[in-house]
Amino acid sequence: MGTGAGRPSKDRNVSAAALVFPERGGAFWLFDAGEGTQHQLMRTPLKLNKLEAVFITHLHGDHLFGLPGLLSSRSYHEGAGDLPLFGPPGIKSFLDAVFAITGTHLEYRLDIREAVAGPIWDDGTWSVRCAPLDHRIPCLGYRIEERDRPGRLDSERARQLGVPFGPLFGALKRGEDVELPDGTIVRSRDVVGPPIKGRVVTLLGDTKPCPEAVLLAEGADLLVHEATFAAGMEEKAAKYGHSTTGQAAETAKKAGAKRLVMTHFSHRYRMEDLASLENEARKVFPETVAACDLKAIDIPFRSE
Q: Which domain holds residue 144?
A: 17-149+196-290
Helix (H, G, I), strand (E, B) or coil at 198: coil
217 and 120 co-located in one domain: yes
Residue 304 lies in a domain: no
Task: Spot the catalytic one: 62, 122, 293, 298.
Answer: 62
3-class SS string, 48-99? HHHEEEEECCCCCHHHCCCHHHHHHHHCCCCCCCCEEEEECCCHHHHHHHHH
pLDDT given for residue 149 in this prediction: 83
**DSSP code of residue 271:** G
Residue 67 lies in a domain: yes
Q: Could you count the other beta carbons within 10 Å of the beta carbon of residue 9?
A: 18
187 and 200 co-located in one domain: no
178 and 105 co-located in one domain: no
Residue 235 lies in a domain: yes
169 and 53 co-located in one domain: no
- Residue numbers of the chain with a pLDDT score lower than 70: 303-304
126 and 159 co-located in one domain: no
pLDDT given for residue 168 in this prediction: 87
272 and 141 co-located in one domain: yes
Residue 3 lies in a domain: no
In angstroms, the CA 107 to CA 112 distance is 15
Domain count, the chain: 2
**DSSP code of residue 244:** B
Residue 97 lies in a domain: yes
91 and 66 co-located in one domain: yes
174 and 268 co-located in one domain: no
169 and 259 co-located in one domain: no
Listed in sequence order, the residues at least 6 apart from 6 whose beta carbon sits closer than 8 Å to its beta carbon are 14, 62, 266, 267
In angstroms, the CA 5 to CA 9 distance is 9
pLDDT given for residue 303 in this prediction: 65
250 and 181 co-located in one domain: no
Does the annotation mark 32 as catalytic? no
pLDDT (tens digit, 9 = 90+) per residue, 51-101? 999 999 999 999 999 999 999 999 999 999 999 999 999 999 999 999 999
31 and 167 co-located in one domain: no
Residue 53 lies in a domain: yes
Cα–Cα distances (Å) from 284 to 169, 223, 237, 252, 281, in that order, read 47, 15, 18, 9, 6
User: Considering the entire predicted model, what is its pTM?
Assistant: 0.90
101 and 246 co-located in one domain: yes
Q: Which of 191, 213, 241 is the last residue of a domain?
A: 191
Q: Which of 171, 191, 211 is the last residue of a domain?
A: 191
Question: What's the CATH code of the domain at 247?
Answer: 3.60.15.10
Task: Give the phi and the psi of residue 247 in degrees, each rounded to 5.
Answer: -70, -40
**DSSP code of residue 14:** B
What is the biggest distance separating any 2 CA atoms in the chain, rounded to whole angstroms?
75
Residue 208 lies in a domain: yes
Residue 2 lies in a domain: no
Residues belonging to the binding site for Zn(2+) are 58, 60, 62-63, 135, 206, 264
Q: Is residue 132 a contact partner of residue 140, using CB atoms and an 8 Å limit?
A: yes
Cα–Cα distances (Å) from 28 to 59, 87, 144, 272, in that order, read 22, 17, 13, 30
